[in-house]
């Protein structure tokens, strides 16, 4: 799988986790907002990797970006944001497990290879 396809697929899957997380908690996050968060999170992770950072930093750096953008787009109280973010992380982890185990696609969480 070439890098560009992996990059786009990572954005789509990350965006999907944000969109579905918002829908499950009944916080309507628009699809374009989910795409902005997904693209930002994946791009920051890719840039961190490009700069030669250690794997723990590659995994860690995107979190504050996604957290801040979700908070700004939700425009809800902190406890609602937190519940939504925890839901997003759970969905993101499930998506990662499926993609890593069945398709050997590890770009969502590079340090956590399941196959």
pLDDT tens-digit readout, 34-80: 999 999 999 988 888 888 888 888 888 889 999 999 999 998 999 99
Token match 């918002």: residue? Answer: 22
The full length of the chain comes to 115
Structure tokens at 105: 């696609």
Structure tokens at 15: 């965006």
Full-model pTM: 0.88
d(CA 59, CA 4): 19
Judge contact between 40 and 73, C-beta under 8 A.
Answer: no
Judge contact between 66 and 18, C-beta under 8 A.
Answer: yes
**Quick one: pLDDT at residue 97?**
86
Q: How much is the mean pLDDT over the chain?
A: 87
Query: CB neighbours of 81 closer than 8 A, spacing ≥ 6?
Result: 70, 71, 74
**Quick one: pLDDT at residue 112?**
52
Please tell me which residue, 12 or 6, carries the higher pLDDT value.
Answer: 12
pLDDT band at 110 (very low <50, low <70, confident <90, very high): low
pLDDT at 2 over 90: no
């Amino acid at each position: 799988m070439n890098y560009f396809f992996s990059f786009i697929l990572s954005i789509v899957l990350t965006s999907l986790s944000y969109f579905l997380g918002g829908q499950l908690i009944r916080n309507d996050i628009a699809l374009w907002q989910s795409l902005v968060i997904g693209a930002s999170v994946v791009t920051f992770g890719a840039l961190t990797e490009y700069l030669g950072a250690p794997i723990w930093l590659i995994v860690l750096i995107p979190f504050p970006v996604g957290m801040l953008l979700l908070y700004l787009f939700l425009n809800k109280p902190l406890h609602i944001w937190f519940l939504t973010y925890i839901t997003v992380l759970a969905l993101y982890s499930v998506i990662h497990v499926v993609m890593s185990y069945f398709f050997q696609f590890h770009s969502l969480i590079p340090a956590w290879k399941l196959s």
